[in-house]
């Protein structure tokens, strides 16, 4: 199973403001849809609530302490580890937020699909810092928009994968 983190961040690492994405850039979410369609995504309850519904054509796993929470077309689990066990036979799974889930998942990440918005944006939820030297940048594409952004794919270096799993 390949564990992939997928996120959009401002250049100052903001991913949210009070559980809401603090930008609306036409076309910016296309890569998220293209990569996650037909796959399983894991997210925290607050991230799910900010979206408000299960994403079409994706299995959605929600991490929550509230095991009474029942959401149509979604599965709930108590922890990231429980989500990994549930999806152990998947080829690639996507971690889709929020900040605490990203922070916890970073140590397991084989790939990071990161969209970097070329602007400082006010917010109170941040993407965790990570050691970029543990990864190779295998894809980079700059997109000109009303606020430019760049798509990156980081893949964990082989040595780091082996060391992390031992």
d(CA 135, CA 7): 16
Over the stretch 71-111, which tens digit does the pLDDT of each residue have?
Answer: 888 999 999 999 999 999 999 999 999 999 999 999 999 99
Q: Residue 166: its pLDDT value, please?
A: 45
Going from N- to C-terminal start, the domains of the chain cover 2-149
Q: Residue 162: its pLDDT value, please?
A: 56
Altogether, the residues listed in the chain come to a count of 166
Tell me the pTM: 0.92
Over the stretch 132-148, which tens digit does the pLDDT of each residue have?
Answer: 999 999 999 999 999 99
CATH class of 2-149: alpha beta
DSSP 8-state class, residue 108: G
Q: Three-state DSSP class for 132? A: helix
d(CA 97, CA 126): 10
Average pLDDT, the chain: 92
pLDDT band for 160, please (50, 70, 90 cuts).
low
Over the stretch 109-122, which tens digit does the pLDDT of each residue have?
Answer: 999 999 999 999 99
Over the stretch 48-75, which tens digit does the pLDDT of each residue have?
Answer: 999 989 999 999 999 999 878 888 889 9
CA angle in degrees (0–180, nearest 5) for 59-149-110: 45
C-alpha separations of 158 from 6, 51, 97, 166 in Å: 20, 35, 25, 13
Determine phi and psi for 26, rounding to 5 degrees.
Answer: -55, 130
């Amino acid at each position: 199973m390949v564990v992939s983190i997928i996120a959009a961040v401002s250049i100052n690492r903001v991913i949210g403001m009070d559980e809401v994405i603090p930008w609306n850039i036409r076309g910016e979410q296309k890569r998220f849809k293209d990569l996650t369609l037909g796959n399983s995504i894991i997210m925290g309850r607050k991230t799910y609530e900010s979206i408000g519904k299960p994403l079409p054509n994706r299995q959605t796993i929600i991490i929550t302490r509230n095991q009474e929470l029942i959401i149509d077309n979604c599965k709930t689990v108590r922890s990231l580890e429980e989500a990994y066990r549930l999806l152990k036979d998947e080829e690639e799974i996507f971690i889709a937020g929020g900040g605490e889930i990203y922070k916890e998942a970073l140590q397991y990440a084989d790939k990071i699909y990161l969209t970097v918005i070329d602007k400082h944006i006010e917010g109170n939820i941040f993407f965790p810092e990570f050691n970029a030297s543990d990864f190779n940048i295998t894809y980079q594409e700059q997109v000109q928009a009303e606020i430019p952004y760049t798509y990156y794919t980081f893949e964990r270096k082989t040595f780091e994968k082996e060391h992390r799993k031992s």
